[in-house]
Chains A and B, each alone.
Chain A
Amino acid sequence: MKKTFFSTSKYRLAKSKIFFYIVCFFSTLTMIPLFLIIWELIKRGYKQFNFSLFTEVAPTSMDAMLAKISGDPIPGGILNGITGTLLILVIAIIIAIPVGILVGIYLSENPKKKFSNLIRSLADLLQGIPSIVVGIIVYVWVVRPMHGYSALAGSVALAIMMLPMIIRSTEETLKMLPTSLKEAGLALGGSYTLVVLKILLPSAFGGLFTGSLLAISRVMGETAPLMVTALGATIVNWNISDPTSAISLLIWEFYNDPNLAPLVWSSSLLLLFIVLGINIFAKSVAKKWKIQ
């Protein structure tokens, strides 16, 4: 028996080593797409990543074709998309964050109630709905009754997608606060409402902020739900009941129009920078906040 142990132990160690290298190899491989994608966007997009990207609306297919024929860079930018994304997001935030935080407070204050478990499960259910399905639901709810596509419809769709994330992060942040905090507040004679609003929420601010930022970065790049709700527009629109463009919608438009294709890279680059930027910022805030 000892002999078999001896003769195989080298083999076993070698096998273990090889497995380790395989794991390292695959892990490295996994990280590569991120850099490849960023590299590709920079490589193809930097030429069009200019001032007019932020100051001009998307060109028509005709203008782009003419520029292409004469060898000029494609004129125009994605101003209508940037303002559209901003408009749609702001309304979505106004809808989702207060409701999400209130529900989160309810769940953390009544953690064991049957009703809370139901709400938690439903929030999970909502979070799992594919984005395009959220889109068509809002189409039925908002677009059809309003007789038209609108920024508001897009906002409702994004708000539905943000809501479960905000509920969850609120509940989890509040749960992490020591119970003594609430008790101390109540012991000082503060009313329940004041303790929650003036003590718990401010203490949880870092967590709520991070959670909201992550939710925003998650829905910011969404395209599918906006296609069937906000539709898109060729002009800068600030009216919430009119069709509105968004950066992601413009990318989709450019992708589908060979004349506009060169713009697809610079606008994707911008979108990726903003989304990953918010993402990284949110996580670094979370880290700092956790240390405190």
Chain B
Amino acid sequence: MKDKIFKSILLLASCLILVLTAGVIYALVSQSINTFSTFGFFGFISSTSWDSVNENFGALPFITGTLITSILALLFCIPFSLSIALFNGEYFKGTKTSTVVSSVVDLLAGIPSIVYGLWGFYVLRPVLIDMGVSAQGFGVLLSSIVLAIMIIPYASSLSTEFISMVPNDLKEAAYSLGSTNLEVIRNVSLPVSMSGMFAAYVLALGRALGETMAVTMLIGNTNNIPSSLADTGNSMASIIANQFGEASGLKLSSLMAIGLLLFLITAIINFIAKYILKIVNR
């Protein structure tokens, strides 16, 4: 009897997750219906207008802003996270050095987004200005660099795991044929861990897509499609953070619609990564 009650409590708690997810989707969809019925789904995502006075809204600049900054961040982070993965999972696998390095890198994931934003604003932005990137330093490049630093720990911890899972006897077989370290990495370690690493980077991309505060502080807050790396813009997350407070009516609905789109994009990206991981782990 008691067990039955306990088991139903467990089940009930699990059903709460179901309800929560349904609630998330319902909230986003119900709030954005107004926007989609006014502009049409494709009309909304293809329009570049963000006009509060005439109530004409489109998400294209923010979708592009999000995609450009995230993909750039991913590209920037690859040499670093790949190096960390090789350092910890191949060269110094299982040593004290690798423990130290991986804990330091893990701590990068612990730094709050807003602190990254501050650091980007006060330290990195002047550097970009000095380098002549742009007059104010704000923009796609600045955001991408900071985003890259933020996602390195996510990309590197999972890829380290996959590289260190490459069976030792496989590597020894390659060594026994007379290859160098580099050749073993290129022909055995990397190809064998490839799909897992790919999933790691897709997950990192998912992180970058949804990152809010740092981008809000660094991207420059303008509602245009960035025309160059030095140009300013807004990401989907940053437009919501910047304008949600004073929004109402159709504008609020449009921000909700952007939230829904962002939710969908990150969900799809995460789903792809999890799917690859599922196949790899089999």
Contact = CB atoms under 8 A, between A and B. Distances in A.
Contacts of A169: none
Given A20-B91, A196-B6, A228-B245, A26 B115 contact: no
A73 interface: no
Q: Most B CB atoms within 10 A — which of A12, A27, A103, A196?
A: A27
Interface residues of A, number: 82
Contacts of A12: 180, 182-183
Interface residues of B, number: 82
Interface string B180-198: 1111010000000000000
Given A20-B181, A40-B122, A128-B270, A136 B14 contact: no
Contact of A137 (B10, B13, B28, B185): B28
Interface string B203-235: 000100111110011000000000000000000
Contacts of B213: 223-224, 252
B39 interface: no
- Name B's interface SS: helix
Contact of B20 (A126, A191, A218): A126
Given A22-B83, A192-B6, A37 B183 contact: no
A15 B180 contact: yes
Interface string A228-260: 100000000000000000001001100100000
B108 A34 contact: yes
A223 B114 contact: yes
Given A130-B263, A132-B240, A132-B259, A224 B119 contact: no
Contacts of B106: 283
B118 to A, nearest CB: 6
A111 to B, nearest CB: 13
B94 interface: no
Nearest to A218: B110
A268 interface: yes
Contacts of A29: 80
A124 B269 CA distance: 12
Contact of A228 (B110, B206, B244): B244
B111 A34 contact: yes
Give the top 5 A-B pairs by smallest Cβ distance, nearest first: A221-B112, A130-B210, A26-B83, A102-B13, A16-B180
Interface of A: 12-13, 15-16, 19-20, 22-27, 29-31, 33-34, 36-37, 40-41, 44, 99, 102-103, 105-107, 109, 115-116, 118-119, 121-126, 128-133, 135-137, 139-141, 160, 163, 167, 191-193, 196-197, 217-218, 220-224, 227-228, 248, 251-252, 255, 264-265, 268, 271-272, 275-276, 279-280, 283
